[in-house]
Structure 1
C-alpha cells in the first residue's frame, strides 16, 4: 500500500517593531509650526522620528523628513525621549513613525494648529491621580472630541512614584484616536508632583520652573500655565506681568493647580495666588481661568477682586462686563469631594467626574462641562468638524444653563438669515430650489455669503441680493441648509439652520374651531352677523331669521409650500336632529391668511372666494352628538 504525504511549508512574516511606548505630544512653542514628540525608549539605539504630510503607514523610508532626538533623560523608571519638529505648515496633518535599531513604531499623526484666528476647541481639567476608570474615560473622550490641545492642571498621579507615572502614561494612550491621531498636552504642576522635575523631565516643557505661555492663531488666544506650587510672587509675578503687558491677544487665559477660592470647605484658601494674580488678571484682561486641586465642579460668573462692601464675598464681586470667569476644580480621576463652599458669585457647582470643553473664536468663548463616566457610549466628532456635539455626550446642564459664554464686545459680526426656502418645506427631486439669504454688517460691508447643504459648500455669492440655485438629486431625504456671512474684517456668522424634505410626504393636518368668534352666521336677508349663536343651522333658522350663510375660520393649518392636497374634509357634530333633506354649497376664501370674522355686516359674503363650489347633500341627522363619517364633507 502506497501512502502520499503532503508537506506544507508555513511561512511566518515577522514584523520588527521599535522598542518604545508611552507616547505623548507636548506644545512648547508656536503650535502652528512646532510640536514636541515624547516617548519611552525601552531598548534599541539611534531612535529617530520620520514624518511628512502624506500617510505612508509604517514605511518609514517614504517619509520625506526625519528628526533625531533633542533630549533623553532617565526619570521615573522610563527613558523619556524627546524630538522637536519645527518649520511645520499650519493647520496641516502630519504622519510619523519612530524607528530605532530594533524596528519601527506604529504610525501616528497630528494636526498643527491654525496660524489664523479661526475657531478652535480645547479640553481643560486636572487631578487624574489614582482612580483609573474615570481617568481612562476622560482620556478616551479626548480621542473622541479631538481638541486642538489639552490643558492639564496637575496632580497626574497620587504619589509621584515611578510605577504610578508609568501607569499614567499607559492610560494616556487612550487619548490616541482609533485612526492614530494624537492630541498635544500643555501640563501644569500640581501639589502631588513632588517637584518641578516631574513636569519638566516627563514633558520637556519650555521652563524648568514650569510657568510658560502658548499663543494660538495669529492673536486669538494665549494660555498662561502658572505654577501654584512655588511662590506666586517674585520672579513668577514679574514674568507674568511682563508677558501680560506685551500681549495683544484677543483672549487671555490661565491655568494652574490650586484655586484661589476653593469650593470645598476643607481646602485652604489660595491667598498667595489671590494676592499676586487676581488683580493682575482683572487689570490685564484675563478672561478665563482653569483651576484644579479640590476634586469638585464649579463655574463662576465674571468677577473682580474686592476688599469689602455689599456683594463682596471671599475677596471677589461679580462684574459682568470686565470680570474674569473661573472654572474647575479637577475631577479627572481623583477622589471626588463635596462641593460645599459656594460663593454668591458662583454660577453653578456640583460633584462628578468631568472636564471642560472649550470653543474659542474671535467673538466669544464657550465653556461646557462634560461628564465623563459614559465615555464608551459617546460618539466621535470628525477630524474636520470638532464643534458638533457627538451622540450621547453627557453635557452638564445646571440651573444657569449648559454653556458659559464670554462675549467679545469689541468685535462686530455680520448678521445673516435664510429667507427661502422656509423651514420644514417639502420639495420635488430634480427640480431646482432657489435659496435666498439676507446679510448685513453694522460697521462695514459683506464680503461674501456662502451657501451650504448638509455642510457641503455649494455656492459663494459676493453681491446682494444673495442667492443660489440648487437641485436635489436624491429622493425621500431630508437636507439641512445654512449660510455663512463673512464681513470685510473677516468675521463670520452662521445663520440658523433650516431643514427641508425632498420627496413625497403623507401627512394629516387637523384644525379644530375652539373660539366662539371663529364661527358665525350671516342672515341672508339683511347681512347682519350673529357671532354668539349656541349652534350653527345649515342653513334655515326658522321663519324669523330665514336662510343664512355660515362662516368657519380654521387656524394654524400650516400646509407646506408646494404641497399637493390629496383629500380634505370638514366634520360637524349634531346638536339637534332633523329628518329633512338639504343641499349645501361650500366655498373657500381666496387667501393664504384669512382675516378674523367680525360683527361688521356682510362679513362673510363680502369676501373673495375661489370660483369652485363644493356641493354637499348630507343624509338626515337623526342622533344628537353624532359626528361620524356622514357628518363629514370630503373633497378629493
Structure 2
C-alpha cells in the first residue's frame, strides 16, 4: 500500500466525526428562542449529516447529548430540562463525532425566572445587514465598549440583510466575518423588516428569514402564544419583550396581530415592557406623517402599548438615531404634537442632566427610539420630529442595561463615542414574588350548563405574606379576596370556553400569576365503541343468532337473506334527564360491495339497561323496541376501511332520547339498537377488528335547575343554617327555608 494513502486513511478512521469525507460547518452554531429551561441551537453543514449537541457544566465535561434523527444540512436541536439562569457549555456535530472543538466561548445561558431582578444587558441592532466594513466598524466599536462582559440578548430591529433578505445576504450580514463570535453565546431575537419580506412571507412564515430564525409561537418563552413567528413575545428576568411585524402582517384593529397584542399585554405582570418592530411611529422629515406603514404603527400599535404602560419602543427603518422625550398620547400627525398635554417629561433623561425619566409602576410615559444605523446611514436630518429630544445621522448601535427598577440606554457610535444616553427609573417591587395556583375547579372541567361555581386558590410567599388574590376569567377581573382561604364565586353565564387565572400580591407589592385553568360549558359529546363480541349480533331469517361474526351484513347476507342486526353500547354515562341533541352510529367499511336500493330502519331497545346479546333464538328481534325510529339510506361505500360520512347513520337522537327518558334508566345503563331493512352494506364487527367496530356518538346537554345560582331545583333538600327548623327545602323563591318548630323564635 502507498504510504501516503495509508496515513490519510488512518486520519479519517481516528478523528471523531470524519468518515470517508470531511464535514464542515458553514454557518453557526448560533442560539435561538432561549427560555428558563431550554435553548435552541442551530448550525449548517456543507453536506447532510446526522444532528447532535453535547452540553454540560464546563467545556471538559459535556456529559449530556441531544440528538435529532435523520440527515440534513440545516441543523436545529432544542435542549430541554435545563436550570434557569444557568450557564451550559456545548458543542455540535453528528452521531460520528464533534465538529467543533469545545471551548470556554461556546456556551449558552438560560433565561432567568420571569420576574427575577438582576442586571440584564442587550445589544440592539437596527438596519444592520449590509455585510460591509461600516457594519463591522459598528460591531468593533461595541465589542471594544463591552469587552468580555456577557450580553444576554441581541435585539434585531429589521432590515437585517440587504437588499432582499436572501440566504446569501444573511450569510454575509451575520455568519461570515461578522457576528459569529457573539452568536455562539448570545440569543438573537429578530423583528422582520421590509427588505426581508422581498424573499420571505409572513402569512405563510416561509422564506430565508423564517428558515434562519426560530421564534417562540406557543408562549414557551413567556407571554401569550401568538401562533406565528411573524410576531411574538418573550420574558427575560423582569422585562417583557413584545416583537411586532410592521410590514407583512395585519396592523388594523381587529386583525389577529392586534388582538394578540392586547391579550398578551393584559397577561403580563413584568416590571418593564419593551416593544420593538421595524417602521417608526415618529420619525424625521415628515416620514412618519407621509408613509402609510409608519402612520399605521402610530395609530394602531402605539395606543394599545401605551394603554398597558409600555416603557420603551425600539424601531429602525430610518438610518439614523432619534430619541424621544418621555411622552404619552400622541397618535396624530407631527403637527398635532402638544408638549403641554403629551409630554410627560421634557427633560434630557440623564442622571447628570435634568434627571432620569421617572414613572411609577403603572405610570404613563414611553420613550421611542429609532436606532437604524448599525449598517446604513442617511444624510443630515433637516427637520426632526418634534417628539424627539435628539436626532443625529451617524452610524452606531444601542446598548440597553436594566437592573431592577433602572433602565440605562446608550447610543454607541462607530468611532467608539457615546453620543446619547438616558435613564428611565420606575418603582418596582422588591424581594421574591409569591406563588399561586388555582386548586378548584380542575383544569379541563366541563359543565353541562351555565351555573355558579366556586373558584379556589393556594397562595404563599417565601419572604413575606400574601395580601390578596385577584381572580380573572378570560382576562377580566371577577373579584379579589383579601384573606385565606382564597376563593371567589362566579356565575358561568353561557355556553363556551372559559380561562381562569389568579394573581397573588404580597406585602412587598410583588405579583405572580397562576397557570391557566380551562373550563368549558355546554353540550357534551360522548362516544362508545362495541366493547365485546356479545355486543354485536346478526339474527338470520330462521331466528338463529350469531355473536361471533367476522363482519356485519347490513342487512342482506347473500344466500341467507335479510338479517336483523343488534348493537349494544356501554360506558356512555349519559345522566338521566339529559336532552339529546344529536346521536349517530359510525361504521367502518369491511367491503365495497353495495346492494341497492339499501334502506335501513334503526330502533332502540325499550329497556332501562339492555342486556348483552346471546345465541338464543330470536334474541335480537324479540326485544321490545322504541316507538321512535330513524330511516337510513346510506350512500355507496367505496373503499374498504372508510369510516366517513357515508358510513355514518342519520341522526337517531329521538331514539336515544326515548331510552334516556325511561324511569329506570341510569347513567351506567347500556343502550341497545336494532337495525333491519333491505339491501347491503358490510361493516367491520368486533371479532373482525375491534378497533374498527361500530361506534355510537351522542351529544347532549342538561337543562338548568330551577334555581341556577344554587344549582338546585325547587323542593330539593337544603340546610338553612337554623337549627330550630326542620324539613329544609328550596322554596319557590329559590331560598332555603325550613318549617319552624316550637323552639323557633
Conservation of the 8 A alpha-carbon contact between 1:22 and 1:173: no
Task: Tell me which residue corresponds to 1:80.
Answer: 74
What's 2:111 paired with?
113
| Structure having the larger proportion of residues in strand | 2
1:137 shift after superposition: 3.2
Q: In structure 2, what is the equivalent of residue 241 of structure 1?
A: 262
Structure 1: how far apart are the matches of 2:71 and 2:368? 37
Deviation, 1:265, is 4.0
Q: Could you list the per-position Cα deviations for residues 356-384 of structure 1 after superposition, in whole angstroms to 9, with x for gaps in the alignment?
A: 1011122211111111x24xxxxxxxxxx
- Supply the distance in 1 between the matched residues of 2:70 and 2:34 (Cα, whole angstroms): 16
* TM-score (norm: length of structure 2): 0.46
Residue of 224, 228, 233 corresponding to 2:242: 224
Task: Say whether residues 1:331 and 2:382 are aligned partners.
Answer: no
Q: Within 5 A, what are the aligned runs for 1:48-63? A: 48-56=52-60, 63=62
Summarize the alignment of residues 468-547 of structure 1 with structure 2, pairs less than 5 Å apart.
Answer: none
Cα RMSD (Å) of the superposition? 3.5
- Counterpart position of 1:19: 24
**Deviation by residue 1:403-430 (Cα, 9 ceiling, x = unmatched):** 31111135589xxxxxxxxxxxxxxxxx
Residue 330 of structure 1 deviates from its aligned partner by 0.9
Structure 1 partner of 2:188: 185
Q: Name the CA shift for 1:68/1:263 in 2 (closer, same or farther; >3 Å).
A: farther
1:305 counterpart SS class: coil
In the other structure, the counterpart of 2:210 is 200
The Cα shift of 1:118 comes to: 1.0
Determine the structure 2 residue equivalent to 1:162: 167
SS in 2 for 1:403: strand
Question: Which residue pairs with 1:42 in the alignment?
Answer: 46
**Pairs within 5 Å for 1:583-594:** none
| Cα distance in 1, alignment partners of residues 376 and 390 from structure 2 | 20
By how many angstroms is 1:166 displaced? 2.2
Rounded Cα–Cα distance in structure 2 between residues aligned with 1:72 and 1:329:
40
Match of 2:671 in 1: none
Distance 1:81 1:63 in 2: 19
CA contact (8 A) 2:54 2:90 kept: yes
Give how far 1:224 is off. 0.4
After superposition, the C-alpha distances for 1:541-595 in whole angstroms (9 at most, x for unaligned) are xxxxxxxxxxxxxxxxxxxxxxxxxxxxxxxxxxxxxxxxxxxxxxxxxxxxxxx
Q: Please say if 1:259 is aligned against 2:294.
A: no
Alpha-carbon distance in 2 for matches of 1:201, 1:346? 36
Structure 1 residues 411 and 64: CA distance shift in structure 2, 3 A: closer
Distance 1:29 1:257 in 2: 22
- Which residue of 271, 286, 293 maps to 1:250? 271
Question: Can you give the 5+ residue segments of structure 1 that lack an aligned partner in the other structure?
Answer: 1-8, 57-61, 74-78, 375-392, 397-401, 414-443, 446-487, 492-636
For the residue of structure 2 that corresponds to 1:204, the secondary structure is coil
* Structure 1 residue 36: Cα displacement: 1.3
Query: What TM-score comes out, normalization by structure 1 length?
Result: 0.53
Secondary structure at the aligned position of 1:206 is classed as coil
Corresponding residue of 2:88 = 94
In structure 2, which of residues 301, 313, 327 is the aligned counterpart of residue 289 of structure 1?
A: 313
Judge which range, 264-273 or 188-197, deviates more. Answer: 264-273
Equivalent residue number for residue 531 of structure 2: none
Name the count of aligned residue pairs.
372
Change (3 A) 1:19 1:370: same
Alpha carbons of structure 1 residues 102 and 44: separation in structure 2 relative to 1, 3 Å: farther
Report the CA distance between 1:314 and its aligned residue: 8.8
How far apart, CA to CA, are the structure 2 residues paired with 1:162 and 1:91? 33
User: How big is the shift at 1:295?
Assistant: 0.6
> What SS does the corresponding residue of 2:111 show, helix, strand or coil?
coil
Gaps of 5+ in 2: 1-5, 218-227, 346-358, 432-462, 465-506, 511-745
Q: Distance in 1 between matches of 2:286 and 2:71?
A: 43
How far apart in 1 are the matches of 2:233 and 2:71? 23
Q: Separation in 2 of the partners of 1:189 and 1:295?
A: 16
**What does residue 123 of structure 1 align with?**
123
- Deviation digits for residues 310-366 of structure 1 (CA, Å, limit 9, x no counterpart): 994299931235211011231111243433332332111101111110111222111
- For the residues of structure 2 that align with 1:223 and 1:172, how far apart are their CA atoms? 29
CA distance in structure 2 between the aligned counterparts of 1:310 and 1:165, rounded to whole angstroms: 35
Task: Give the equivalent residue in structure 2 for 1:137.
Answer: 137
